[in-house]
Chain A
Amino acid sequence: MREASGDECLEFKWGKKRIVGGKKKDVQFYESFTFDGDEYSLYDSVLVGDANEPDSHELFVAKIIKIWEHTNKRAKNPRQVKLLWFFRPSEISPRLLEGVQDVLAKELFLASGEGPGLANVNPLEAICGKCSVVCISKDKRNPQPTDEEIESADFVFRRVFDVGSSRVLDTIDDKIAGVDVMFLFNRAGSKQEATNVQKVQEDINVNPDSLKLNSLPACVSVPETEDNSIESSDLRESSYSREEGKEKGHSKLAEERSNKDSSVQESTVHLKDHDVCEASGSRGNHCDGNKAQEREVTKQFTKLKSLPAEERYSNTCEDSDSRVNHSSSEKPQANDVKNPLAKQKSMLAAAGERYSKESSGFDDRPQKKRKLDGSDGKGDTGSFKRPRDISSDGKRGSEAFKRPKDKETGDEVPPEKPSLVKEKRDLGVSVSEGRDAKTAKKPSFDGRLLKRAEELADDYERGYQVIEVKQKPDAVNSKWFRPLPWEESMREAEKEERLVLLQNLDPTYTSDEVQNIVYSALNEQSTARMIERTSVTISHTGEALVIFNSRQSAERAIKRLDKGCLLLSSGRPLVAVFAKINPPGKLSSFYGHTKLQKTQMRREARDAVSTSRGSQPNTLEYAMAMEWCLHRARSDHAFQMAIKRQLEVKKSLRVNFKAKLP
């Protein structure tokens, strides 16, 4: 199975070795190591997360004063560091700070003396990142830093805080925590990396993520390296998702640490479950029904940048799936159900499924189509048929799709064969989730995702079969473009030739009205979406995309509208054709953005998104921009003229709505 060690995915490399020590000579000391892309050496300043408060953003600053690894396999945390703490002014009680002059904004106090709070041994993985702490003490042993260095440093320190006497002292002894203070001052000649704390903060957001989620293996066909690089670039963009990811990651980190399980096992478990959840998620139902809710859901998830990121989220949500799995199962070995959470989870799961469904690309489509032919459709408004499949009975194939509105519940179907138990539970889950999803009001995901993460570390059902769900790395349906739920159904419908373009509507109609029209005039259930009138669409007429429930009904409708004339009160006869829509995916290029190579950037590249201040008339860019303006003005004008003409023609042909009495 997966023998993956917990951080095989977070690159780690030892640096220079030092002595071997320990009672049994089983401890190897080191001078440096590389962890997750950063190189750390002895006496570097690092940021450490708080294990007790996984969700907090507060990080402690410390200096590494010892690095080692237990070479005997039995050690719980083989790699450890001893960290000498810095105290933030906020960490010191105010009365102890009385009389302490001039505490600077980024000043820290180095711990000294003896007692608790001086230094701690921590697993190496507790380190969240590097930071730069410059010593500005006027002590003659301290190489004085330049002003620049002080400016660019994350923190500064010049005084110590004696943990024994709980006082801030100005003078520094010769040794602190057994370390010669020469090592604690600025190192002559060696520059400390002035990594922006901000960046580190974000890195921190990233790292726990990767720590946790990178342990998701290839079963999601996500290249790991991609993860890392994408994450760091991700940082600015999807702030919302970062928030979640970070906090989630924190909690998971904490969990991992606090659990004292070897990280191996932990991640193995996680891995397994992700696999499984993937399976359950992808085979799960589609939460249809409550359109608004779905929109809300996907709005939250829309525009996540990379596929791996999406995997991550779908996986987390699917994790929650598995939890619900447990909770809703009837099996005795199911874990405790936290009922109030079940609903939340279901909503999440709904999102997760929605998500995983999307991210699983169009893999599922061909299968669905096959099944669709066989199944009988229920003509609900807004429900899209999904084949009903009860794999728990082993009747049909292993792909299980369940309609949320199905009366039959997986729950009630008794688990017959143990090997299919898992699948059944999945179904049971999907149904109940679907139901909940359907009935739930707009779910809000901000807090929920975090909570989910925390529960994850608890025991999972280990007996799960791991099903490899190969995600199709959909290059087209990729980074930027997350389809909205309506859109998904629309494309479905197009494939099955149920999608009709209704034209010559009044542009002020709404989607609902269109649906009503279709219903009353053609006696067909449908869902519709008005197409927005923009600068590139004809403004005097409206169009809508209508999804019918079956090809026949779509054909019927078109025929009727063609042969006969359905007049609306605005005097417009409706026109209908089978709609052909653009395949999904984003363009690789865009006219007007000349790609300048790096070397060509002598001036600021023109970015269409950033609202640029008026460029000066004497630059090349200005001239080019003017050309574009001209071009655009011309096109607009031409377009408008054409439309005006059309309007006139139409007016002359206006049909009387009121029938002339015979």
Chain B
Amino acid sequence: MANPEEEEGEEEKYESFLSRVRRTVYVDELTPHASKSVVESAFSQFGTVKEVIFLPNYLGPKELPTGVLIEMESEQKAKAVIETVSQPVRASAARPAMFSDRPKKPGRRIQFRWVDPSDDEFDKAQRVKRLVRKHTAEAAFMIKKQLEEAEELAKQQSETVTTHHKKFEMIDKLTYDGVAQELAGRYNMKCGPPHR
């Protein structure tokens, strides 16, 4: 169907797409609050950011962290980003499947056929279909579980933080008030002067 010229054009497009992919970093676990410009500025410390594409989350659960595709100037820059970006975001190399607007693989032709019910394969195909549905459900479930765990963890951590902070506050207050010094004196221990 496609004449050779078209093929060539396709090839080129695909090639350039691939190079784009290589230049792009896939960043995961991003807060949904991050806006495009924030992301841009954050990543511009590695080099010029050519493009930022937010991956929309249509089907997954709402609490899923955002994914972003960040296209850098060159492959090296992309690699640098991947290596240096630390928690909690995650960066990895992008894959073609991450771009929803990608050009198609050149020279590929898709064929199809309707399977006849009398065909042996029909049953198999039906089973596959059911399997697919099962898999989707499984994946969704897993993700849900993950998110729940994350929530748990977050709660835990916020508690820890608050208690720690309270402790610090208390200590601060005591030193400020001079209470700590008194106590120290009484127990013959050292204590720093009250700081402003």
Q: How far is the CA of A642 from the CA of B135 in the complex (A)?
A: 9
> Are A594 and B142 interface neighbours, CB within 8 A?
no
Question: How far does the Cβ of B167 sit from chain A's closest Cβ, in whole Å?
Answer: 11
Q: How many residues of chain B have a CB within 8 Å of chain A?
A: 91
> Are A628 and B87 interface neighbours, CB within 8 A?
yes
Q: How many residues of chain A have a CB within 8 Å of chain B?
A: 97
At the interface, yes or no: A11 with Cβ under 8 Å from chain B? no
Closest partner residue, chain A, to B127 (CB atom): A653
At the interface, yes or no: A659 with Cβ under 8 Å from chain B? yes
Most buried by A among B28, B115, B164: B115
Most buried by B among A305, A490, A628: A628
At the interface, yes or no: B189 with Cβ under 8 Å from chain A? no
> Are A532 and B59 interface neighbours, CB within 8 A?
no
Q: Specify which chain A residues have a CB less than 8 angstroms from the CB of B151 in the assembled complex.
A: 591
Residue of B57, B85, B131, B149 near A653 (CB, 8 A) is B131
Q: Specify which chain B residues have a CB less than 8 angstroms from the CB of A650 in the assembled complex.
A: 128, 131, 135
Residue of A530, A537, A653 near B124 (CB, 8 A) is A653
> Are B126 and A534 interface neighbours, CB within 8 A?
no
What does the 1/0 interface line of A503-542 toward B look like (CB < 8 Å)? Answer: 1100111111100110011000000011111111111011
Question: How far does the Cβ of B70 sit from chain A's closest Cβ, in whole Å?
Answer: 11
Q: Specify which chain A residues have a CB less than 8 angstroms from the CB of B115 in the assembled complex.
A: 564-567, 573, 655, 659
Most buried by A among B56, B61, B65, B105: B56
At the interface, yes or no: B63 with Cβ under 8 Å from chain A? yes
At the interface, yes or no: A552 with Cβ under 8 Å from chain B? no
Q: How far is the CA of A612 from the CA of B36 in the complex (A)?
A: 18
At the interface, yes or no: B15 with Cβ under 8 Å from chain A? no
Question: How far does the Cβ of A440 sit from chain B's closest Cβ, in whole Å?
Answer: 20
At the interface, yes or no: A12 with Cβ under 8 Å from chain B? no
What does the 1/0 interface line of B21-42 toward A look like (CB < 8 Å)? Answer: 0000010111111111111001
Question: How far does the Cβ of B8 sit from chain A's closest Cβ, in whole Å?
Answer: 18
At the interface, yes or no: B5 with Cβ under 8 Å from chain A? no
At the interface, yes or no: B178 with Cβ under 8 Å from chain A? no
Most buried by A among B85, B87, B104, B126: B87
* Stretch in B71-79, B155-163, B180-188 touching the partner: B155-163
Closest partner residue, chain A, to B46 (CB atom): A611
> Are B119 and A541 interface neighbours, CB within 8 A?
no
At the interface, yes or no: A593 with Cβ under 8 Å from chain B? yes
> Are A565 and B96 interface neighbours, CB within 8 A?
no
Residue of B35, B36, B43, B103 near A510 (CB, 8 A) is B103
- Which of chain B's residues 37-65 have a Cβ closer than 8 Å to chain A? 37-39, 42-43, 45, 55-65
Q: Specify which chain B residues have a CB less than 8 angstroms from the CB of A553 in the assembled complex.
A: none
Interface residue ranges, A against B (CB under 8 Å): 236-239, 302-303, 305, 480, 484, 487, 490, 501, 503-504, 507-513, 516-517, 520-521, 529-539, 541-543, 545, 562, 564-569, 572-573, 575, 577, 579-582, 586-587, 590-596, 599-600, 602, 606, 608-614, 620, 624-625, 627-629, 631-632, 635, 638-639, 642-643, 646, 649-650, 653, 655-657, 659-660
Interface residue ranges, B against A (CB under 8 Å): 26, 28-39, 42-43, 45, 55-65, 67, 84-90, 92, 95-105, 109-117, 119-122, 124-129, 131-133, 135-136, 138-139, 142-143, 146-147, 149-151, 153-154, 157-158, 160-162, 164-165, 168-169
